Amino acid sequence: MEKLFSITLYILKGSGVTLGLYAITAVFSMPLGLMCALGKISKNKILSKAVSLYTWVFRGTPLLLQLFFTYYGLPVLGIRWSGPFAPAALTFILNYGAYLTEIFRAGIQSIDKGQYEAAKVLGMNYSQTMRKIIIPQTVKRILPPLGNEAITLVKDTALVAVIALAEILRNAKEIVTREFIITPFFIAAAIYLVLTSVIVLTFNRMEEKYSYYE
């Protein structure tokens, strides 16, 4: 029992990296996705095409390849990293920002055009219309896909093990390799299930909160 506790404690130490990467990605990819979505639907063709290129590249290539390029490729071009966490965070932010761009874009464009006309009649400018009318309704509609991305993000953080970041899965694998037991994998799975369950409950409550926009 004592050994099981020590194994669990060691694996949980990796949750600091997992949760840190998760938080940073969520905090920065959300506004990035929203700004890029607004850029993609704007009348500025150069901006729209630039955002389209960004989403095409990051949605069309594997996250693992992007991680390798940022961590191993950019130093070749003269960009040095003090550790593996920064390139991992940058890669995840850009990758998830691309996916969130399309989610926000689809949500915004799903709002009836009459909402814009009504806002114009009320004397609202574009910024006020988006902030007070369009975005709140959009949030309600995109919560399910956002929840899916949030769950996927938890699992994708395991990829950073390939660049020597000591997250949950890497710590579990280290014990398995050292002691030839598979119990750490079950413990790691349980931790991931707890994290994803919390996310599911959070998004369920958010859907209830925003239900009055329907």
Predicted TM-score (pTM) of this structure: 0.90
Number of domains in the chain: 1
Nearest-angstrom CA–CA distance, 152 and 172: 20
Look-up of token digits 């919560």 = 143
CATH number for the domain including 176? 1.10.3720.10
Cβ proximity of 41 and 48 under 8 Å: yes
Within 13 Å, how many C-alpha atoms sit on residue 123's CB side?
0
Work out the number of other CB atoms within 10 angstroms of the CB of residue 59: 13
Give me the domain span that covers residue 140. 2-213
Task: List the chain pLDDT tens, one digit each, 214 residues.
Answer: 778 889 999 999 999 999 999 999 999 999 999 999 999 998 899 999 999 999 999 999 999 999 999 999 999 999 999 889 999 999 999 999 999 999 999 999 988 888 888 888 888 887 888 888 888 888 888 999 999 999 999 999 999 999 988 899 999 999 999 888 999 999 999 999 999 999 999 999 888 877 654 5
Look-up of token digits 């574009």 = 126
Nearest-angstrom CA–CA distance, 159 and 22: 12
What are the backbone dihedrals phi and psi of residue 98, each rounded to the nearest 5 degrees, phi first? -65, -45
Nearest-angstrom CA–CA distance, 37 and 39: 5
